[in-house]
Amino acid sequence: MKMIVGKGSCGIAAGANKVSDSAESYIKEKGYAIETSVTGCIGMCYLEPIVDFIRDDGTKTTYVMVNAETIKEIIESEMKGEVAAQYEMPEVDKIRLERQTRIALRNCGIINPEFIDEYIAKDGYKAIEKCVTKMTPEDVIDVIKVSGLAGRGGAGFPTWFKWNAARSAKGTKKYTICNADEGDPGAFMDRAVLEGDPHALIEGMLIGAYAMGSNEGVIYVRAEYPLAIERLNIAIKQAEERGYLGENIFGTNFSFRLRIKAGAGAFVCGEETALIASLEGERGMPRLKPPFPAQSGYWAKPSNINNVETYANVAWIINNGGEAFSAMGTPDSKGTKVFALTGKIKKGGLVEIPMGATIKDVIFEIGGGIKNDKQYKAVQMGGPSGGCIPAELADTLIDYKALAATGAIMGSGGMVVMDETTCMVDMARFFIDFTCKESCGKCIHCRVGTKRMLEILTRITEGKGEDGDIEKLEELALTIKSSALCGLGQTAPNPVLTTLRYFRNEYEDHIYKKKCTAHQCKNLVSYTIDADKCKGCTLCAKNCPVGAIEGSIRNPHIIDAAKCIKCGKCATSCKFDAVIVD
């Protein structure tokens, strides 16, 4: 029997290490013949810690929300040949997993990322062997072209075109680079692959390098991903020991070396020229294009940059054929896409689905709907560079063109779900605050423009909005969008533009009525107590941190507006709905 504990970052944060330690200690104490292992995140972060038991006959049971004590009960049941049904993964969640089509995430949560043999057992490194022994570089590029694989980092640029441009570029020294600088708030797709299936990335980069004529690669990963870096280092070392990395791979004249560069966590370094500057030891700031990296990139040599998810698809495409990948999705967007579901959603985590599904499918069918059954309001797609898509457009297809038509973008795949309690003005302020802080400062439009937008949005959320503020925001947004040097600045206004487009009434309420209908902007919210409903239970007074509520037991209470800090604890503690939030 084998016990596998999910030890991605989400599992560890939920207590997987404690579960593992408890289980191993208990197994040793009892003398049970149970092999223990680890795996990455399977995507169901809301069920962590997750533990699989695989019996000698190959049958498997998955247990969820396990803790250091319940794992002992589970072990005892398994040793008796029984299933601890009370801890088993619910059927609805099994169906949720079965509904996905996992290509980039095919091995995540399945194999031990620290043992290369488990990757090899899943046809690992067969694709690169096929490429270097049976295919020409042009053949490889043709397969990727047929597949329709587009960059999964946000721009959606055809992968084959970038590879072909690098291959056609003059020069013998070329670089293959992976952009693992995943900086969007609410996005963790790349981290899951790095932690759960690092060899898929390595093999994808090997295939890309062969196609482009490159012999050196770099994985640029943010330093905030220590577990990902640790497992990547292990994977690279194991691949070198087996001869998959190094000189004369599979006895051919193809050689490739790979190393890791830990970035300092600058969002702008997700832009390829800023990433290259950081790799060269310079401050991460974008450069004018052209020349494009394919002609003059890292150290002025031809370079290709793709993100983790893009490379993670490549080996599967080579093994299964470009047609198999292009058969999924829409005419404009082929294959599958990984999304990180966060925010006001019941079942947060990672999902991988074919392009062409609707936003509603992802949020309600796979994500389980809105937390606490509140009303669905909007979803932010594409991170700070994306836009807010309102509930009335929930039937929008997940397709590069369809999403662009809404004012949002596919981005790297973050989906931040919002409910009726979300203030869209404050949400726009949050994202502008992020991009303002992350601006490299090189161009005035981004450096100063986002600052001015943030000032206006802050003023509006504080109840100090003025007539003409909306027009100023629109003018600034359009100017920045058309004048900024790089993609960060050009897309920074998107959250403001989309919220103005779909939720203009909220801006007007903030400015002219001095009201926040979502009751999130403190300066625009007031708390009073309905004397007819108040039973004088004193719960509100006991929970008020500043003593702003007066009243005796069994008599109506009163809130002193001068003392009230608008924390909302009175409203959440009242059992009789007597606290009025306006």
Rounded to the nearest 10 degrees, what angle do helices 198-212 and 126-134 cross at? 10
What architecture (CATH level 2) is domain 116-325?
Answer: 3-Layer(aba) Sandwich (3.40)
Reduced to 3 states, what is the DSSP secondary structure of residue 31? coil
Rounded to the nearest 10 degrees, what angle do helices 70-79 and 16-30 cross at? 40
High-pLDDT (> 90) share of the chain, % = 92
pLDDT at 261: 97
Q: Which amino acid is at 477?
A: A
Rounded to the nearest 10 degrees, what angle do helices 494-502 and 424-438 cross at? 170
Radius of gyration of the chain (CA): 26
Q: What angle do CA 252, 257, 263 make, to 5 degrees?
A: 155
pLDDT at 156: 81
* CA distance linking residue 384 with residue 432, whole number of Å: 7
Going from N- to C-terminal start, the domains of the chain cover 2-90, 116-325, 336-419, 424-513, 526-581
pLDDT digits (tens, 9 = 90+) for 514-539: 999 999 998 999 999 999 999 999 99
pLDDT at 67: 97
> Per CATH, which fold does 336-419 belong to?
Ubiquitin-like (UB roll) (3.10.20)
Beta strands in 489-546, from DSSP E residues, in sequence order: 527-529
pLDDT at 558: 93
Which helix (H) or strand (E) covers residue 6, if one does? strand 2-6
Q: Residue holding tokens 């990322």?
A: 113
Answer yes or no: CATH 3.40.30.10 is held by domain 2-90: yes
pLDDT digits (tens, 9 = 90+) for 37-93: 999 999 999 999 999 999 999 999 999 999 999 999 999 999 999 999 999 999 999
Q: Which residues contact 31 (CB under 8 A, 6 or more apart)?
A: none
* CA distance linking residue 570 with residue 559, whole number of Å: 9
Burial 250-282 (b: 16+ CB within 10 A, else e): eeeebebebebbebeebbbbbbbbbbbbbbeee
pLDDT digits (tens, 9 = 90+) for 448-499: 999 999 999 999 999 999 999 999 999 999 999 999 999 889 999 999 999 9
pLDDT at 43: 95
Reduced to 3 states, what is the DSSP secondary structure of residue 385? helix
Residue ranges of the chain whose pLDDT lies below 70: none
CATH assignment of 424-513, among 1.10.10.10, 1.10.3720.10, 3.40.50.300, 1.20.1440.230? 1.20.1440.230
Q: Tell me if domain 2-90 and domain 116-325 are identical in fold.
A: no
* CA distance linking residue 276 with residue 298, whole number of Å: 6
Q: Which CATH class is domain 526-581?
A: alpha beta
